[in-house]
Amino acid sequence: MRDHFINRLTSLVEDHPSIVLITGDLGFGVLDEFQKKYPDNFINAGVAEQNMTGIAAGMALEGKIIFTYSIANFPILRCLEQIRNDACYHETNVNIISIGGGFSYGALGISHHATEDLSIMRSLPDITVIAPSSYWEVEQATEAIVQNEKVCYLRLDKSSGRDMDNNLQQPFLIGKPRTLTDGDYCTIFVTGGILEEVWEAYDSLQNLGHKIRIVSVHTLKPFDKTAVIDAAKTTGGIVTVEENTLDGGLGSLIAETILDNGIRPKKFLRIGLGPGFSSIVGSQKYLRKCYGLDSKSITSKVLKLISG
């Protein structure tokens, strides 16, 4: 996902020369081409995320389109005050890029597990929160947020980004979920790269004769409720899947939508991280399995919910 973001951003600078990429002293192997091609549009702020965000807000107020870039929790948790007070409050065009969503850097331990970020960022006023589910959505999101003119959090991870997701030819529109497959057994709402696990679960459920509707919620804020209302009316239940804490993330968003609009789905289940820290260390694939976020666990939970 990271490579697709950088490649698309680099291609946009020619038409949008006000784009500036600020890195928190990392990513140089990936950023080399951008820096070489557009040296005046590149800044290394060092390991100083609060300062990086303050610089970003100031430059954005002067008309620049800013992208701050770091891994996992570093571009948000270390500088949350600056994001809230400097960037969001002043309605700046600052785009915060995290390239380590979820358990992408799982082997590095709790400091690098970005598993509360979607919840935290969704709570801020005047911000767009995007977690693309595939390479195609990454590229579309990058182009869209250049035009967005407000603060955006873009969460990327190390998932494979299987691009079987444009079957129904639905466009990428900020705030509007995309229906990737149709079915009536149940609807799975998913955000981020964990879609790859949902695809595997989808294949297993299809082999059992169950037609599953998959909806990619690439934008958690703003959010169009239409897909949720339709799923509640026309499918056997609603399941949410996220590589994030259940507190305040996608599952909470869908639950809020259901309650606020008086919707009554036949069944409802949230799949994500429960209480406590993710203290286990390992690869993204391994940690997904440990916390019940792998394809087999998703398949089992869906079957138990709908047919059990």
Q: Is residue 246 domain-resident?
A: yes
Mean pLDDT of 3-30: 94
Assess whether 186 and 112 both reside in one domain.
no
Assess whether 151 and 31 both reside in one domain.
yes
What's residue 170's pLDDT?
84
Query: How many domains is the chain built from?
Result: 2
Assess whether 125 and 223 both reside in one domain.
no
Average pLDDT value over all residues in the chain? 95
Q: Is residue 165 domain-resident?
A: no
Assess whether 76 and 204 both reside in one domain.
no
Assess whether 117 and 237 both reside in one domain.
no
Q: Which 3 state secondary structure label does DSSP give 214? A: strand
What's residue 9's pLDDT?
98
Q: What is the pTM of this model?
A: 0.96
130, 17, 99: which is closest to 65 by C-alpha? Answer: 17
Give the model confidence (pLDDT) of 106-134 as tens digits.
Answer: 999 999 999 999 999 999 999 999 999 99
Give the model confidence (pLDDT) of 241-295 as tens digits.
Answer: 999 999 999 999 999 999 999 999 999 999 999 999 999 999 999 999 999 999 9
CB 200 within 8 A of CB 162: no
What's residue 158's pLDDT?
86
Q: Is residue 67 domain-resident?
A: yes
Mean pLDDT of 301-307: 96
What's residue 159's pLDDT?
81
Assess whether 193 and 119 both reside in one domain.
no
Give the model confidence (pLDDT) of 165-212 as tens digits.
Answer: 455 578 899 999 999 999 999 999 999 999 999 999 999 999 999 999
Assess whether 98 and 137 both reside in one domain.
yes
Assess whether 118 and 211 both reside in one domain.
no
Q: Is residue 166 domain-resident?
A: no
What's residue 164's pLDDT?
60
What's residue 169's pLDDT?
72
pLDDT beyond 80 at 308: no
Q: Is residue 173 domain-resident?
A: no
297, 213, 229, 157 alpha-carbon torsion, rounded to 10°? 60
Q: Is residue 143 domain-resident?
A: yes
Give the model confidence (pLDDT) of 225-237 as tens digits.
Answer: 999 999 999 999 9
* Residue that is written with structure tokens 């799975």 in the block: 188
Q: What's the CATH number where 147 sits?
A: 3.40.50.970
Element (H, E) at 212: strand 212-216
CB 21 within 8 A of CB 45: no
In terms of residue numbers, what domain contains 20? 2-155
pLDDT beyond 80 at 31: yes
pLDDT beyond 80 at 28: no
Instruction: Name the percent of the chain lying above pLDDT 70.
Output: 97
What's residue 168's pLDDT?
56
Paired sense of beta strands 151-155 and 94-98, if any: parallel
Mean pLDDT of 65-90: 96
Total Cβ atoms within 10 A of residue 135: 20
Q: Is residue 160 domain-resident?
A: no
Give the separation between CA 103 and CA 286, rounded to whole angstroms.
9
